[in-house]
Amino acid sequence: MKFLIRKMMQNAHFIQVVNPSYKKFIEHLKIKNKNIFVKNAFLPPPLEDESRILNTYNSKLIGLLSILSLIRKKTVIVTVHSFKYSSGKFNFWCKLVFWLAGKAGIHFITVGPEIKEKITCLNIKPENIEVIPSFISPPIKEKEIAEIPKDIWDFINNHTPVISANAFMIRFYRGEDLYGIDMCVDLCAELKKTFPRVGFIFCLPEIGNYAYFHKMKQKVVNRGIENNFLFVTQPYQFYPILMKSDIFVRPTNVDGYGVSLAEAIYLNVPAIASDVCTRPEKTILFKNRDLHDLILKVREVLGNYERYKKGIEAVEIEDNFEKIVRVYQKLGIKKDN
């Protein structure tokens, strides 16, 4: 989403961000552009400029956006990055929301085919769904690299190997840690037995659940890895840290694609992820929520590192910005003239 916002601004597109969580990110970037603003999605959009497209992937907003689309005749695109419901196990609220979306003719972009398959069962016409993986190549900016604090660079320089992971915010799925922070802590503790200087960086720009966050910090202490495990809770760009990582892991227990995996492979960093959905080419998979298998795969990569690095050098991860913009243009988005 963040790289999409940037590229659309560079190409003079109007953007209305209806997910308030991105306000922190945009403020951090010090973006001042007349074509972008962040507002609470529960406030109706302005009546002028009928070509405006609202873009969100928060399922709780889909119903409201559908009603706004019906009343105000707005074009709405909903980008779905993950979908937690299993086919055939949709609750009443989910069915109602997507029934409204179907009536309103909402258009969807899903980041994976599994998500498209699920929402076609919810009154959404297949022709109103585009499957476009969410990867957009990160623009490497020296200013953003320089914004990473010295203590993070010191941590990276003083540890080897360096493993990184990230999450948008602490969340749970079926009672388990969705992003697998708990597994990352255990992974680091196990690796320390044979790699005493191992370093693990977990980037978490929005904490959300502070009780669980403090529980994980205490777990780090209990496992004796307080000098090996670092939480980064400020909204710095992730790619500078990723560029300096030896391995990236994504132990999510539900997912739609995992754009950070594509970013890692694009930056020639071996990537390991759970087998919960279609992943980018050359991602190394482990069994979902299986710590033993995760440790096994990480040790396998570390033990044959140059072979795995070489294996991803030739991979071409497609930048999907033009595909996304073509969908927007087809549905009426305009550039600022």
Q: What is the pLDDT of residue 2?
A: 61
Inter-residue contact 33 to 69 (CB < 8 Å): no
Please check whether residue 152 lies inside any domain of the structure. Answer: yes
Q: What is the pLDDT of residue 307?
A: 97
Number of domains present in the structure of the chain: 2
CATH number of the domain to which 122 belongs: 3.40.50
CATH number of the domain to which 275 belongs: 3.40.50.2000
Residues 162 and 257 in one domain: yes
Q: What is the pLDDT of residue 147?
A: 95
Angle formed by the axes of helices 92-104 and 59-72, nearest 10°? 30
Q: What is the pLDDT of residue 72?
A: 80
Please check whether residue 337 lies inside any domain of the structure. Answer: no
Residues 72 and 162 in one domain: no
Q: Which structural domain, as residue segments, surrounds residue 269?
A: 142-313
Please check whether residue 41 lies inside any domain of the structure. Answer: yes
pTM of the model: 0.84
Residues 290 and 205 in one domain: yes
Please check whether residue 51 lies inside any domain of the structure. Answer: yes
Residues 123 and 166 in one domain: no
Which stretches of the chain score pLDDT less than 70?
1-59, 333-337
Please check whether residue 212 lies inside any domain of the structure. Answer: yes
Please check whether residue 304 lies inside any domain of the structure. Answer: yes
Please check whether residue 336 lies inside any domain of the structure. Answer: no
Q: What is the pLDDT of residue 335?
A: 54
Residues 247 and 148 in one domain: yes
Residues 189 and 268 in one domain: yes
Q: What is the pLDDT of residue 33?
A: 45
Q: To the nearest 5 percent, what fractions of the chain are helix, strand and coil? A: 40, 15, 40
What Å distances lie between residue 193 and 10, 271, 295, 299, CA to CA?
A: 48, 22, 12, 12
- Classify residue 20 as left (phi > 0), alpha (psi -120 to 50) or beta: alpha
What whole-number distance in Å separates Cα of residue 10 and Cα of residue 276? Answer: 35
Please check whether residue 301 lies inside any domain of the structure. Answer: yes
Residue spans of alpha helices (H) in the chain: 2-10, 22-28, 59-72, 92-104, 113-119, 142-147, 150-157, 181-192, 210-222, 239-243, 259-266, 291-303, 305-313, 321-330
